Structure 1
Amino acid sequence: MLKKIIACGMAVMFTFSSASVVGAATNSDKLLSVARTHMGVPYVFGGQSASGFDCSGYTQYVYNKVGISIPRTTGSQATVGEAVSKSNLKPGDLIFFKNTYKRGISHVGIYVGNNNFISATSSKGVDVVSLNNSYWGPKYATARRVENFDVNALFDDLDENNEAYTAIKELVENEIINGYRDGTFKPDQPVTRGQAAALINNIIGFEASNQEPFSDVSAGHTFASQIAAMKELGIIHGFNNGLFKPDEFITHGQMAIMIKNALEVTGGNPDEMKQDGYDERASRAEFATALHDTLFQYNK
């Protein structure tokens, strides 16, 4: 499988617009998915990266990943948002402990539900622990709600009844796609050819040697590196005149060809990709669903 031999390749977060798109409406499912991704990462005093965290470095990192800015230190984090009682904790709340390695507020974690929290501990690194734990239980101090998370919200304009909801949700949780600054996904809007190339390469993660693949795609284009990767792998070929037309909207037929080629390159089954509505524009929801059900499922 291709992904096994290109470990040095770098995936870039796919966005639907170079200017306005940054993330989904934040929800506790997404926050906790990011938090659990780093289970077992070692404790490093002063650490604030995926190679090592201290407690407040970890919580700040996780919150930043879903677009929420919080202070760096435990003491400062204990002042943000609003206070919440222990009996009213919700997943995503920050919880604080006192008198651990020093007197006063000295440790912070994220409540994950079922009386459990996740934090960067000096003994086990990032770990999930019960609030009934003999060490942590007596040291519980307070909790703060930075945001009133809606557990069921993914995007403001995408509810669970949408046929594409599950596909989009899983792609968001795996940091392959995101949405608009206003918390919407705009599922019915079309996708450009450049965006499509970027989204496919977010799954494959290939880094091209030539960063100017087509005459109409300069090195400074938002998706230049992703388009270059797709061309180098033979997933895209452009038009007969040598252009790629990265800002044109992709059709169902073009979408099918791209995904079929990507499946062939990665060793998947290209017959899984349907070509309904060949000349119609592919919407964001349609592209996400097609990609999720084929290339993503094979390569995850």
Structure 2
Amino acid sequence: MTGAIRRAVASACLALIAGAGCSKAVLAPEDYGGGAPIRPPIAEGEPASSRNAAAAQLATQYLGAPYVWAGDSPAGFDCSGLVSYVYARVGVSIPHNAARQYRHGTPVPRESLQPGDVVFFDRLRHNGIYLGDGRFIHATRPGGVKIARLEDDWFRTRWVGARRL
């Protein structure tokens, strides 16, 4: 391989790594895997299960945990790693990938969010767990696991959808 090709390959790899965000794959919502959702959409006002409320509560125990790309333990989380770790602790197995997590559960309109719903942003490259009152918990770089508001500009403009597991 020539030096120019090697540099081009290295640059492309760095660009892919830098742009990866917290998800291991980048898919637009329409590319989430096709077909109908696993379950029909949630009726407005349907209560969240106690399991989902427990997931929201459990997630707050990891506030301040560091961000680690591909991390899925209290030693370090990325966004989808936090979601999959917390849900595994309440008995739900989902992939460690935001775009693939979007395939699971029931679609929830933004106005019907309940604690424990998984919220998705930025073409399915980021997600977190809804806590209630417009707040959600997520793992972000920099900052690690923290709470943010859905109405913050970055999240408001990059909203994709939500799922109830």
**2:131 alignment counterpart:** 112
Contact 2:67 2:77 in 1 (8 A): yes
**1:141 alignment counterpart:** 160
Provide the secondary structure at the position in 1 that maps to 2:131: strand
Contact 2:54 2:116 in 1 (8 A): no
In the aligned structure 1, how far is the partner of 2:105 from the partner of 2:88? 15
Q: Alignment partner for residue 75 of structure 2, among 45, 51, 63?
A: 51
Taking structure 2 as the reference length, the TM-score comes to 0.68
In the aligned structure 2, how far is the partner of 1:29 from the partner of 1:96? 18
Aligned ranges for residues 86-101 of structure 1 at < 5 Å?
86-98=110-122
Structure with the higher fraction of residues in strand conformation: 2
Q: Deviations over 1:212-271 (max 9, x none)?
A: xxxxxxxxxxxxxxxxxxxxxxxxxxxxxxxxxxxxxxxxxxxxxxxxxxxxxxxxxxxx
Contact 1:26 1:67 in 2 (8 A): no
Contact 1:85 1:143 in 2 (8 A): yes
**1:66 alignment counterpart:** 90
How far residue 82 of structure 1 moved from its aligned partner, in angstroms, is: 1.2
How far residue 26 of structure 1 moved from its aligned partner, in angstroms, is: 4.6
Q: Does the alignment pair 1:77 with 2:101? A: yes
- Asked which structure has the greater RCO (Cα within 8 Å, sep 6+), the reply is 2
Q: Deviations over 1:74-105 (max 9, x none)?
A: 1100010111110111111011001xxxxx21
In the aligned structure 2, how far is the partner of 1:29 from the partner of 1:105? 23
- The sequence identity of aligned pairs, in percent, is 38
In the aligned structure 2, how far is the partner of 1:55 from the partner of 1:36? 14
How far residue 123 of structure 1 moved from its aligned partner, in angstroms, is: 1.9
In the aligned structure 1, how far is the partner of 2:55 from the partner of 2:68? 22
* Segment drifting more, 29-38 vs 70-79: 29-38
Alignment gaps of 5+ in structure 2: 1-48
How far residue 136 of structure 1 moved from its aligned partner, in angstroms, is: 1.5
In the aligned structure 2, how far is the partner of 1:66 from the partner of 1:39? 18
RMSD after superposition: 1.3
**1:33 alignment counterpart:** 57
Instruction: Give the paired residue count.
Output: 117
Alignment gaps of 5+ in structure 1: 1-24, 99-103, 147-300
In the aligned structure 2, how far is the partner of 1:95 from the partner of 1:76? 13
In the aligned structure 1, how far is the partner of 2:52 from the partner of 2:153? 27
In the aligned structure 1, how far is the partner of 2:108 from the partner of 2:52? 16
Q: Deviations over 1:104-163 (max 9, x none)?
A: 2100101100011111111211011001112221111111111xxxxxxxxxxxxxxxxx
